[in-house]
Amino acid sequence: MSSLPEKLTPAEYLEMLRAEQSSPTSPPESTADIIPVNLIGQNGQAADVIAPPPSPPPKPPGEPADASGSDSATDSGDAGDGGATAGSDSVYVNSGRGGVVRKPRRPASEVARGDKHLTELFERVNALLGEREGDEEEPFRPPVPKTLLETGLTAEEIERLVMKYLLQRGAASGREICSQIKLPFAMIEPLLKAWKQEQVLAHKGAAEMGDYIYLITERGRERARRYADECTYFGAAPVSLRDYLRAMEAQSIAHQQATEADLKRAFSDLLISEEMFERLGPAINSGRGMFLFGEPGNGKTSIAERITQCFGKAIWIPRTLGIDGDIIRLFDPGVHEEVTDEAGEGLFDLSGVDQRWVRVVRPTIVAGGELTMAELEVTQNLQTKICEAPLQLKSNCGTLVIDDFGRQTMPVDVLLNRWIVPLEKRYDFLNLPSGKKIQVPFDQLIIFSTNLEPRDLVDGAFLRRIPYKIQVPDPCREHFVKLFEIMAPKMGLVYNEDAVEYLIREHYEKPQRPFRNCQPRDLLLQIRNYCAYREKPKEMTPESFDFAVANYFSVM
């Protein structure tokens, strides 16, 4: 197997394997095996001109040719006589004091055969280079930064993160440090050496792949404590505001167009009328905002939560933002669902993605009656000095649902005045703890879901900025019956059409009770629990419906 350079970075090794995969039979000269040949002249001196390889003896008549169809001899031979035999594809080169034969390298898969680790690595690289089914073209994908300038950070900012991490950890290898702050090892290694020269770090021992285990010194501890007093954060290195704005522009929902097929796919698990689809489609494509109003229990929140699926599956967001020394945590596992990728696992990161970013499902953030004004501004923890991003920033390129609008602890006028300009201009201003004010995109579909009439909540100026007001009506009789038919198997119950007709006749038509979309599910839950308690077969009967209705509508 060919000898590799003393230090071969994963990117270089990946490029080498990519070249071999694309043209295994005609590799570039730099990746060929170099085999010395002792071609000595009769006077005992090295020949200046290398003679061509001797022609093989002619084959006897009738002898079959090689399977490859060529007359070349085998590559291996006895070199004890001072010569070397080579195939017809070998190239002789005059290299001064003796010739060399350049022989084509075997395919990478053949080279790796017999070595478990190389085989696994080759298979992963091959899978990465090949097209994977289901991959969608992404409008934005953060590349791995190659220089410190591309990160938007300074060496001092990286030093703060590393020192605070080692203050808590004590000692860690260089690659463990890079995994913590999500930056490439090739970029951080020179900084580690420089900090060792400053005697804030020391070598504790050797680690794999030419790495070292770094130990923080007492001088480094003093420096790290000062950094921790300013801010305790030592996670992923922050992303600059400039890079964040570029990413949001590329992934904006304003660039997305939902079709009828997109809506039906997103709402496949809900029973929606064609009339409702006709009203929702243009409202979603506007990318602005809408009111969903109607009686409670008709599925306003369920509709709002599924609208985001019409805009595509996933986006890239930074884990944290760094703005003039303030650390703003943007990725929130409580509201963001991370999309994992196996390509980034292992010793080598083959994803080609800046690990300071995380791929998440397009966010759908629901805020109900618990919403406060503090959640709409940048807030700082006074102990850790770490800032938390507001809800509208976390929901960029997705959907922000204000559920039970009008029932928040803050007055409706206060909320509307806070957002009246962002809804019109599509950007927002945020105040940072440092006193600086920044402009950020207000790029999400705002959905106000309420049981109240919109005109009773807000004035005309605000209604003008919410162009779509969609009423979610009560279901018709046909849809109401269909909901029982759909939900019964999911509840483990046997569907009984006669029992449903009895329910509608006795408990809806006679008392003139309106249908609600949530009632089939709620009543069937009551029946399932009733049958389990009485140890009866799980089926819908008039008796079980009487019991469920008596409980469910006792105060309604």
DSSP conformation letters of 219-263: HHHHHHHHHHHH----SSPPEEHHHHHHHHHHT-GGG----HHHH
Is residue 23 pLDDT above 60, yes or no?
no
Q: Quote the DSSP letter at residue 30.
A: G
Please provide the distance, in angstroms rounded to a whole number, between the alpha carbons at the two ends of the chain: 81
Instruction: Find the range with the poorest average confidence among 81-90, 141-150, 329-338.
Output: 81-90
Q: Quote the DSSP letter at residue 312.
A: -
Shortest CA distance to 306 belongs to which of 248, 362, 369? 362
CATH architecture for segment(s) 260-340+350-471: 3-Layer(aba) Sandwich (3.40)
Residue type, 253: I
Range(s) within the chain of domains with CATH label 1.10.10.10: 148-237
What is the rounded average pLDDT of the residues 429-439?
A: 93
Shortest CA distance to 264 belongs to which of 298, 310, 299? 310
Alpha-carbon torsion angle 109, 115, 116, 120, nearest 10: -30
pLDDT score, position 21: 57
pLDDT score, position 37: 40
Which regions of 351-441 does DSSP assign to beta strands (E)? Answer: 357-361, 364-367, 379-380, 387-388, 399-402, 427-431, 437-441
Is residue 330 pLDDT above 60, yes or no?
yes
What is the rounded average pLDDT of the residues 141-169?
A: 95
Contacts of 6 (CB under 8 A, 6+ apart): none
pLDDT score, position 43: 44
pLDDT score, position 85: 42
Is residue 32 pLDDT above 60, yes or no?
no
* Mean pLDDT value across the chain: 80
- Three-state DSSP state, 123: helix
What is the rounded average pLDDT of the residues 508-521?
A: 93
Is residue 59 pLDDT above 60, yes or no?
no
* Separation CA 200–CA 392 (nearest Å): 41
Shortest CA distance to 548 belongs to which of 504, 528, 532? 528
Tokens representing residue 196 in the block: 């060792």
* Tokens 């008596």 -> residue: 550
- Three-state DSSP state, 414: helix
User: pLDDT per residue over 387-396, tens digit each?
Assistant: 999 999 999 9
Predicted confidence band at 10 (pLDDT cuts at 50, 70, 90)?
A: low
Instruction: Find the range with the poorest average confidence among 215-219, 360-364, 405-409.
Output: 405-409
pLDDT score, position 414: 85
Is residue 120 pLDDT above 50, yes or no?
yes
User: pLDDT per residue over 77-103, tens digit each?
Assistant: 443 444 444 444 444 444 443 444 444
pLDDT score, position 412: 83
Is residue 128 pLDDT above 70, yes or no?
no
Shortest CA distance to 516 belongs to which of 471, 472, 475, 470? 475
**Length reported for the chain:** 556
- CA 7 remoteness from chain centre: 31
In contact, 298 and 406? CB cutoff 8 Å: no
Predicted confidence band at 478 (pLDDT cuts at 50, 70, 90)?
A: very high
pLDDT score, position 410: 84
* Separation CA 290–CA 304 (nearest Å): 10
What is the rounded average pLDDT of the residues 4-8?
A: 47
Shortest CA distance to 290 belongs to which of 307, 309, 313, 271? 307
In contact, 277 and 170? CB cutoff 8 Å: no
- Three-state DSSP state, 14: helix
Tokens representing residue 502 in the block: 């009895």
The percent of residues in the chain predicted with pLDDT above 70, rounded, is: 73
- Three-state DSSP state, 300: helix
Residue 116: CB atoms within 10 Å: 8
What is the rounded average pLDDT of the residues 362-371?
A: 90
Range(s) within the chain of domains with CATH label 3.40.50.300: 260-340+350-471
pLDDT score, position 69: 41
pLDDT score, position 432: 94
Bridge partner list, 200: none
- Three-state DSSP state, 398: coil
The CATH class for the domain spanning 148-237 reads mainly alpha
Shortest CA distance to 328 belongs to which of 368, 384, 399, 370? 384
* Separation CA 502–CA 495 (nearest Å): 13
Instruction: Find the range with the poorest average confidence among 190-194, 317-321, 404-408.
Output: 404-408
Predicted confidence band at 3 (pLDDT cuts at 50, 70, 90)?
A: very low
- CA 418 remoteness from chain centre: 31
pLDDT score, position 141: 93
